[in-house]
Every structure is written in C-alpha cells, then in structure tokens.
Amino acid sequence: MKVVIAGGFGVGKTTLVASISDIPPLTTEGHMTTVAAGVDDRTAVQAKTSTTVAMDFGRARLDGDIILYLFGTPGQDRFGFMWDNLVKGALGAIVLVDTRRIDDCYPAVDFFEHRQVPFIVGVNQFEGQELPPLDDVRWALDLGPTTPIVVVDARSRLSALDALLTLLMHNMSQLEARLAEIAPPPVPTRSRLIGPAPGWDRSPTGL
Amino acid sequence: MTPGGDTGRPGQPEGGDRQPSAGTWADDAPRPFLDRTLSPPPGGSDRPPTDPGGVRPYLLTGGRTTIRPDVNVETIVSVTGKSPTRQLDEEHLRLLRLAGEPLAVAELSAHLGIPIGVAMILVGDLAEAGVVRLNDASGDGSGEPTQDAALLRKVVNGVLKLREAESL
C-alpha cells in the first residue's frame, strides 16, 4: 500500500510524511534522468547541470499486517518518469499546497487528473498564517467539484491522519461509483440467464 | 502516455534547448562529463551527500535503464538464501547484505545512497539471479488497490485505529 504526497519545494511534504511514518523519513535520490542519460554527450552535460530531486520515504504499520508506504515527492516536470512508477498501484495522492505559492502544485494536480489517480488537496496551515477561503483555493486550482480539499497541519499526526482518511474515503466513493457503473442493480431473471455482467468476477464479494 | 503532454519522458532530455553554461565545464572536451573526477565544477558542492563518489548512475547499472515490471519503489525485497545464478557486482552484494531484513526498494536505495531508479534495476538483477524474492507490498498482492474495495476497507480501518490511538 502506498500513498504519494506531492507538492512544491518547502511546502511541508517531509513534515507530513514524518507525522504519519513510524520511522524517521528517509531520503532517496529520485532523479531518474541521470540514468537514462549518458547515451550522448549533450544529455550527459545536461544531467550534470540539472538539480537532483530528493524523494522522502516513510512507512506506517497498520492493523492486519498492512504496511503503508509514504512517498513525498516534489511536483517537478522533469520528475515525470518516476511519477509513473510512483502512482502505479498507489492508493492515491495528497497534494500539499502552500497558499502563498499556490502555482507550485499545478504540475502535481495536472498529473493526477490526467492519470486519473484519486487525489485530494491539503492546504498546509502554517503557523500564524491566515488562509484564504477554501473555495478560492479550489477556484485557483481549477479543481473539479468532487475533489476534496482540506486544511491540514502537517506537523500534527492527528491532522495528517485525517487528511489520509479523507483521501481513502474519496477513493472509496470513487470505487463505489465505478462499481455501480459496471454492475447496475441486477434484474433478477434476465441477468441470471445471461450470466454475470463483465467485471463482476472482480467484485470482492464474489457475486 | 505522458501526463500533460509536456513532462519529461524516460530517455529523453527534458528542456532539450538548454545549454550548459560556458566555462563551468571543459566544453571543448569530447566527453566533458568524464572530467568530473579530475576537476569538480564550482557548483559541485550542491550534490547530495548520498551521491556515491561521483560515479554516474548509469555506470552502476552497466548502462541499462530498463526496470522489470515487477519491481516498484515499494516492492519488498527479501533474500532467498540460494546461490546466485549469475555473477554479481559490488553494488549487488551491498544490496544483498542490506536485504537480510526484508526492506522496500526505496529503503534500500536510501540506506545505500543510490538513486531509486538504479536500486530498482539492481534489485531486478538480484531477482533474476534467484537470490532475492520480490513481494508485492500491496497487502495480499491482488493488484490495483484502487479496484479492491475489501482491501481499501482494511486500510481505512487500519488508519482509523491509528487515529483513535492518537486522539486518546
């Protein structure tokens, strides 16, 4: 199980990872392009001149032997490749926003929308900062009406867990909507004769 | 698909029109990046402390950039105890020593100070050599957690428990 925490530099991703994680966050170098480079001279020079992207990593053990992995990653365009790997099989993403630098999170919002990864927006409440109305943030980010947007204090474990729950619930409601689409309430006799609708075999209840 | 249509792709230099600033490197050298160890650039100090001695990541992977589909950042790696079916390099052995305790690829990468992409490729080698087992970290290995309501419910309950413990 993994959750991606995205957002611009210095927005509090590491803090949020640390708040949920059982271990102190580890930092790993996420810059993949340097590996892909080196084929010709120009790319090699370029790899040298570009900055390294750090990725924060934490984990939390949940009941039932589930380990939740948390990946904090900056929303940089050049990080695109790693993002594909990151979101593969992810539960979803929390896009962390600093309302003073709201455009920092555009790439992340764009990416998750295009990839149809369930995500929520967490407005990080910095100390002594007055937040604009969340509707204004929603408008500025051009978020759809169904995407949750919450205020989060990244330093507080309780607040961080609440944001995580918001994401999971959002995920769940999206899944339920999809399941309802795949399998509309069965018309008893007819659907029995035809057999289960496509997708039913993947239902956890096995109906 | 490339999200947004304008983000980086693997194997392609992003912002291809950017030129390295003149004077920072021996621009006239045929392969200026090879000079790295001889004359580190002024800006070299911003490299992360985890960078393994200026060795380019692609050297660690022998130039390979392909990641096995069953290796992901959160894949759990554990040793099988079997002897390797192929020759292993020093980096492989360092990974193997760490994996004595089952760890996620991202953790191995952080502990060894190698880029995550490199760790993913090297872990793939180890799996191929039969010395490690890869475990899908998504709980019961049933694939896409966003498609599995039962699994999702388990995670929700788990997080709710953490939250309860915290608010006491």
Better pLDDT: A73 or A143: A143
Does residue B120 belong to any structural domain of this protein?
Answer: yes
Going from the C-alpha of A96 to that of each of A8, A123, A141, A160, B161, the distances in angstroms are: 8, 6, 12, 11, 24
**B127 and B146 both lie in a single domain:** no
Nearest Cα to Cα of residue A28 among B42, B154, B128, B104: B104
B120 and B151, same domain (yes or no) = no
Q: How far apart are CA A96 and CA A162, in angstroms?
A: 14
CA gap B50, B56 in Å, rounded: 12
Same structural domain for residues B103 and B163? no
Residue from the list B11, B117, B137 with its beta carbon closest to the beta carbon of A69: B137
B132 DSSP 8-state letter: E
Q: Are residues B130 and B70 in the same domain?
A: yes
Range ranked top by mean pLDDT from A146-150, A203-207, B140-144 = A146-150
Q: What's the pLDDT at A165?
A: 96
Q: How confident is the model at residue B13 (pLDDT cuts 50, 70, 90)?
A: very low
Eight-class DSSP state of B103: E
Q: How far apart are CA A139 and CA A2, in angstroms?
A: 29
Residue range B44-55: mean pLDDT, rounded: 48
Residues B161, B100 within the same domain: no
User: Both tokens of residue A110?
Assistant: 């764009």
The percentage of residues in chain B with a pLDDT greater than 90, rounded to a whole number, is 28
Check whether residue B67 and residue B95 sit in a common domain. yes
Q: Are B108 and B99 in contact (CB under 8 A)?
A: yes
Cα–Cα distance, A4 to A56 (Å, whole number): 10
Chain A residues inside the 8 Å CB shell of B141? none
B110 found inside a domain: yes
Band of pLDDT at residue B107, cut at 50, 70 and 90:
very high
Mean pLDDT computed over A5-16: 88
Q: Which of A98-107, B45-54, B92-101, B134-143 has the lowest mean pLDDT?
A: B45-54
Residue B144's pLDDT is what? Answer: 61
Which residue of chain A is at minimal alpha-carbon distance from B147?
Answer: A175
CATH number of the domain that residue B87 is part of: 1.10.10
A28-64 residue pLDDT tens: 876 544 344 334 344 443 443 344 567 889 999 998 7
In this structure, of A141-150, A186-195, B86-95, B152-161, the range with the lowest mean pLDDT score is: A186-195
- pLDDT band at residue B114, thresholds of 50, 70 and 90? confident
Q: Is A64 in Cβ contact with B157 (below 8 Å)?
A: yes
Residues on chain B touching A66 (C-beta within 8 angstroms): 139, 154-155, 158
Nearest to A91 among B117, B145, B160 (CB): B145
Whether residue B46 lies inside any domain: the answer is no
Q: Does A78 touch chain B (CB under 8 A)?
A: yes
Whether B74 and A157 lie within 8 Å, measured CB to CB:
no
Q: How many domains does the structure of chain B reveal? A: 2
Say yes or no to pLDDT of B134 above 60. yes
**pLDDT in the model for residue B65:** 72
Instruction: Please report residues of B whose CB lies closer than 8 A to that of A30.
Output: 115-117
pLDDT of residue B21: 44
Which CATH number is A2-127+135-202's, of 3.40.50.300, 3.20.20.70, 3.30.420.40, 3.40.630.30?
A: 3.40.50.300
Contacts of B13 in chain A (CB under 8 A): 33, 37, 42-43, 46
The percent of residues in chain A predicted with pLDDT above 70, rounded, is 73
| pLDDT reading at A21 higher than 90 | yes
Q: Is B37 in CB contact (< 8 Å) with chain A?
A: no
Task: Confirm whether B66 is domain-assigned.
Answer: yes
CA distance B12 to B34: 21
Q: Are residues B99 and B77 in the same domain?
A: yes
pLDDT at A85 over 80: no
The amino acid sitting at B152 is L
Q: Look at A94-98, B134-138, B161-165 and tell me which has the smallest mean pLDDT.
A: B134-138
Q: Collapsing DSSP states into helix, strand and coil, what is residue B22?
A: strand
Could you give the percent of chain A with pLDDT greater than 90?
36
Residue position matching structure tokens 């099989």? A89
Q: Determine contact, residues B37/B51, Cβ cutoff 8 Å.
A: no
Please name the residues between 44 and 103 in chain B that touch chain A, using a CB distance below 8 Å.
Answer: 46-48, 50-51, 56-58, 61, 63, 65, 67, 72-74
- DSSP letter for each residue of chain A: -EEEEEESTTSSHHHHHHHH-SSPPEEEE---HHHH--SSHHHHHHHHHSPPPEEEEEEEEETTTEEEEEEEEE--GGGHHHHHHHHTT--EEEEEE-GGGGGGGHHHHHHHHHHT--EEEEEE--TTPPPPPHHHHHHHHT--TTS-EEEE-TT-HHHHHHHHHHHHHHHHHHHHHHHHHHSPPP-HHHHHHH-PPTTGGG-TT--
CA distance B8 to B24: 25
Does the distance separating the beta carbons of A67 and B137 come in below 8 Å?
Answer: yes
Look at strands A26-29 and A54-62 and give their pairing. antiparallel
Q: Given an 8 Å threshold on Cβ–Cβ distance, is A49 in contact with B18?
A: yes
- Among B74, B86, B66, residue whose Cα is nearest residue B127: B86
Q: Do B65 and A35 touch (CB under 8 A)?
A: yes
* Beta-carbon separation of A32 and B11 below 8 A: no
pTM beyond cutoff 0.80: no
DSSP state of B67: P
Kindly determine whether residue A68 and residue B158, on different chains, have CB atoms separated by under 8 Å: yes
**Rounded distance between C-alpha atoms, residue A201 and residue B130, angstroms:** 34
For residues A59 and A22, is the Cβ–Cβ distance under 8 A? Answer: yes
What pLDDT does B20 receive?
44
Task: Report pLDDT for B67.
Answer: 81
A:128-157 residues touching chain B, CB 8 A cutoff: 157
The reply to whether B109 and B144 lie within a common domain is no
Same domain, B109 and B83: yes
Residue B115 lies in a domain: yes
Chain mean pLDDT for chain B: 71
Cβ of A1 and B8 within 8 Å? no
Beta strand segments in chain B, E: 76-79, 103-104, 132-135
Which residue range forms the structural domain that includes residue B163? Answer: 140-168
Q: Is A204 on the interface with B (CB under 8 A)?
A: yes
Residues B63 and B129 in one domain: yes
On whether residue B130 sits in a domain, the answer given is: yes
Mean pLDDT computed over B107-124:
90
Domain membership of residue B68 (yes or no) is yes
CA distance A16 to chain B (A): 15
Q: Poorest-confidence range of A157-171, A173-187, B37-51, B55-69?
A: B37-51
